[in-house]
Amino acid sequence: MAKALSKSQLAAEIAAKGGLTKKAGAEILEHLANLAYKHAKNTFTLPGIGKLVLVNRKARVGRNPATGATIQIPAKKVVKFRVAKAAKDAILGAR
């Protein structure tokens, strides 16, 4: 499996495609991340890639695997990323 692109490599790719400097590409990435953080509560969608969704998890009973004791896990909010169908088809191939 190939290595993942680093932030600087991704910024360089964006800059090359848009005819910008690497610094401008990094600023675009930073701005995109800040938009995602700011709007994740209402869902943040990157068309063709996926969306960030805020989900409420219910309280539940868990178990300590070492002792077997049951514990109460409280309800909480979590952020999930749902991959878009277009991204799944492009990566895995259309079924």
Do residues 23 and 41 make contact, with C-beta atoms less than 8 angstroms apart? no
What is the mean pLDDT for each group of 10 consecutive residues in the chain (95 residues)? 86 91 92 92 92 94 94 95 93 82
Do residues 77 and 57 make contact, with C-beta atoms less than 8 angstroms apart? yes
pLDDT at res. 1: 65
Could you tell me the domains of the chain?
Answer: 1-39 (no CATH), 43-95 (4.10.520.10)
Do residues 52 and 41 make contact, with C-beta atoms less than 8 angstroms apart? no
